[in-house]
Amino acid sequence: MEPILQEWEDFARSLGAVTSTMDATELRDHAELMLRAVATDLETAQSAAEQEAKGKGQAPPLPAHFPLTAATSHGSTRAAEGFSLEQMVSEYRALRASVLRLWARHAPAAVVGADAYEQQIRFSEAIDQALTDSIKAYSHAVDQLVVTKARHRMAALGTLAAGLGHDMANVLFPMRTCLHGLTRLEMPEPARPLLDALDRSVDHLAGLCKGLRARTIHPEATNAGAPATTVLHEWWIAAISPFTWALPRGVRLHHEGLGDATDLPPVAMPAHALMQAVFNIVQNAAQALGKRNDAAPPGARPSGNIWIAARLVPALGDGGATIHLSVRDDGPGMDPGAAARCTEAFYTTKPKDHGTGLGLFLARTVVERHGGKLLVDSTLGEGTTFTLVLPTA
């Protein structure tokens, strides 16, 4: 037993940084228990039918009162210790090679016998079964670690949101006072629209602050007194200025079916929530276009377009009519993997100091909270379209 365990330990130590601080006990982990389980299996009588089933991975399940094996514990432990799946699997591969090599060295005459072949086959089956148990346990442990990490990050964000809402409100109060003071002064006429746009932006930020504070007290809280529906063409008048300011140089904003769409029914979503969702999507598109322009050859003219469009989709089946509000860009687009994950919390393709992976996640959760859904369609080299499917009021 000891020569096998020593070779297991030596191999584990060769796996690099993940084992650099581990002692012999940690390196060997459950190796001895697994080998004793394999030895017990080899000494247990096995019919031809049982051997065939086991060779196909159809070994009988463990009793309910004994749900874990040493291999199961090994998989969970290796996941917690930071081993990659490949590193853990390589331990079993090295174990198999070590045992067979030592087997041949210490019993050369028996290697060619029929009984020895059968024993080696059963040994390999037992190792494969142990590896399967370890992989299942490893995968489950990794999933749990990811969930736990995300839960801790969201809890930290909740604390941050509470403080941010409070501090932003403190800053916005003197800003609003100054803006109102400016409106009473004699100013050039072109400055009036800019002041109005600033005032609307401050109102939007105040609404976000109220929402941040309310949601840290009660997760289902909404802005008290805020209208539950939004008329799109009225919303667009207030939204166009912040959207335009978010665009990098050379990127143009277009709208279709919004400015004069007085025939569209209201959507069942408050204006501040709609603003939050759409602004995050527009900003994401603007950043992608700006990044593409930054990577262009020297002297190239900045370019890029973002289209925001709205249309009514009649009721289908048992569902009611919906408004499809789309944000489309002609940016670099995303590959299928990134498009499938782009609305997950903390998923981002940006450098760590340029993105949190929360913008599109917030857009999706805000839309879903009000009974809608967010669709993503993207093609590399052509652009991306986000479509908010919103219920009508």
Angle at CA 304, nearest 5°, toward 300 and 306?
Answer: 170
| Cα 229 → chain centroid | 30
Backbone angles phi, psi at 41, to 5 degrees: -65, -40
What are the structural domains, with CATH classification, of the chain?
2-153 (1.10.490), 228-391 (3.30.565.10)
Residues linked to residue 253 through DSSP beta bridges, in sequence order:
306
User: Please, what is the average pLDDT of the chain?
Assistant: 81
Q: Is residue 358 over pLDDT 50?
A: yes
Q: What is the pLDDT of residues 246-282, one digit of tens each?
A: 788 889 999 887 866 567 889 999 888 898 899 889 9
| pLDDT score, position 273 | 85
**For residues 309 and 325, is the Cβ–Cβ distance under 8 A?**
yes
Residue type, 99: V
CA-closest candidate to residue 28, choices 96, 101, 91, 103: 91
pLDDT of residue 102: 82
Contacts 24+ apart (CB under 8 A), 318-322: 320/391, 320/392, 321/265, 321/392, 322/372, 322/389, 322/390, 322/391, 322/392
- Which pLDDT band, with edges at 50, 70 and 90, does 189 fall under? confident
Q: Is the dihedral of CA 291, 297, 303, 308 positive or negative?
A: negative
Question: Pairing between strand 322-329 and 252-256?
Answer: unpaired
Q: Which of 153, 175, 154, 171 is nearest to 209 (CA)?
A: 171
- Which of 74-88, 128-142, 351-365 comes out lowest in average pLDDT? 351-365
Paired with 194 in beta bridges are none
Question: pTM for the whole thing?
Answer: 0.52
Nearest C-alpha neighbor of 366 from the set 287, 290, 285, 267: 267
Confidence of residue 227 (pLDDT cuts 50, 70, 90): low
- Number of Cβ within 10 Å of residue 127's Cβ equals 20
Pair of tokens at residue 254: 């277009």
pLDDT band at 223, cuts 50/70/90? very low
Most confident of 92-101, 158-167, 383-392: 383-392
Distance CA 43, CA 38 (A): 9
Is the pLDDT at 217 greater than 60? The verdict is no
> Which strand ranges, in their side-by-side order, compose the sheet holding 383-391?
252-256, 305-313, 322-329, 383-391, 373-379
DSSP letter at 305 equals E
